[in-house]
Amino acid sequence: MRVEVRGGNLEKALRILKKKLQKDGRLKELRDRQYFSKPSEIKREAAKQRLKNIKKAESLKKKMM
């Protein structure tokens, strides 16, 4: 991944880089890998996320109708 530093503005380039990493999902992956999580914890979190996505989809369907 490459970010140009224009006019010596390093802070702006860092913000752009951070935004790109977050959009790509790498930032979340780095945070997840920072500490070890047991496989059961990973499965539990995935189940929570699935439930959250289902509820969100249902609420969007209700708003559309």
d(CA 16, CA 29): 18
pLDDT of residue 1: 81
Q: Do 14 and 27 meet the contact criterion of CB atoms below 8 Å apart?
A: no
SS3 content of the chain, % helix, strand, coil (to 5): 75, 0, 25
The domain locations on the chain are 1-34, 37-65
Q: What's the predicted TM-score (pTM) here?
A: 0.54
Q: Tens digits of per-residue pLDDT, 13-34?
A: 999 999 999 999 998 888 888 9
Measure the CA angle with vertex 51, ends 55 and 53; round to 5°.
55
Cα diameter, the chain: 51
